[in-house]
Amino acid sequence: TKIMKTLATLFFLTISISLFGQNYKVEVVHQNSSWEAFTNLFMLGDEIWATYGTFGTIYFDGINWNSAIQDYRTNGSHIHGVKNGDGNPFVVLSRTDHSFVWDNSSSSYDYFSSPVQNFSKSFVYLENKVYFCTLKGGENNMGKLYLWDMDIFQVIAEWGNGFYDLYVKGENNIILLAASTTTAYQCKVLRFNGESLVELASVDLETGDWFVNMTTIDGEIFFIQTNKGSVYRYNDSNSALDLVFDHNSAENSDRYRFGIVNFDNESFFIFGSYGIRQIKVSSGELINLLTGTGNYSNWINSGYYDSYSQRTLFSSADGKLYELKEDNGNSVATVDISSQMN
């Protein structure tokens, strides 16, 4: 019967999605051509923070876009934050030498001088606990893990080589990506336990390769991206580190090394100077969601998944903002901002 055929089709589609993963497309939801080098996306619900150019900052309040030029550099920075106890955002924009803290009442940033040198990444755990990791260098030529309590910047751990990224599960449970202190092109996953750094896993990479970024949705499964475009999966429950995408398996993999995002453990999304790709973990299938030419204006500089709104956005060097959408095929569409951002 027609009903049975419909049910069978729905069942097949459900099984197909569960076995092979959902397909997606990207849509342009906003564009401002003056936002050259649009990057550093961060979201909390309806609100968006980002940077552009060398000194520019961007804020979307859920209705309107606002941009401003700061007196201090914002390029080479990283934005992260949380919602505080009363539901308001606490957002910090950080880089070498200084940080900006978002002022909700004035919708602008307050400037703070910082001793952090060779800045790598930041992570806001609580309103008064902001962590920074650095590359090798500065005083005693080591990588450093800082804690800023909004008063004092304190070095809480040091490593003989650089830190690439961090994720704070708790004050005594911080996951870090680091370079080996003894073996060239060996990278490690470390844990700061509140007192010392403990090695969790390591891998020997090709010459010229190293860890650059990581993403996690649950604090247990981490996808780690390398400089050449490979992706490893780290499981914090058993310290297993395995290769899930080999950069040698696809052309131009190193052109998608600017970042990696995920919102489940079935797929992840990598992006860079050649566009955006989806990689399905179970099947290894690679899907080009957005393919560029390598021209700077087409670069996808930043991406972010927000758990509050359950939305994934990407920004391009020419001021476009893309949103990831479920789709049975792959396409790029343009839609009105009013229907997408409210």
What span, in angstroms and rounded, lies between the C-alpha atoms of 317 and 319?
Answer: 6
Beta-sheet strand order (sheet of 65-69): 39-44, 47-52, 56-60, 65-69
Query: How big is the chain by its Cα radius of gyration, in Å?
Result: 20
Going by C-beta distance under 8 Å and a sequence separation of 6 or more, which residues neighbour residue 337? 29, 30
Residue 46 sits at φ, ψ, to 5 deg, of: -80, -10
What span, in angstroms and rounded, lies between the C-alpha atoms of 178 and 175?
Answer: 10
Q: Which residue has the tokens 């539901």?
A: 87
pLDDT at 79 (0 to 100): 98
- The alpha carbon dihedral of 201, 207, 212, 216 has a sign of negative
pLDDT at 23 (0 to 100): 85
Q: What is the pTM assigned to this prediction?
A: 0.90
What span, in angstroms and rounded, lies between the C-alpha atoms of 195 and 36?
Answer: 43
Going by C-beta distance under 8 Å and a sequence separation of 6 or more, which residues neighbour residue 264? 217
Going by C-beta distance under 8 Å and a sequence separation of 6 or more, which residues neighbour residue 166? 121, 123, 131, 133, 145, 174, 175, 176, 177
Mean pLDDT by 10 residues, the chain (342 residues): 45 39 89 94 97 96 93 94 94 96 96 96 97 94 97 97 97 97 96 98 96 97 97 98 96 94 97 96 94 89 97 96 83 39 33
222: alpha, beta or left, given left = phi > 0 and alpha = psi -120 to 50? Answer: beta
In three-state secondary structure terms, 310 is: coil
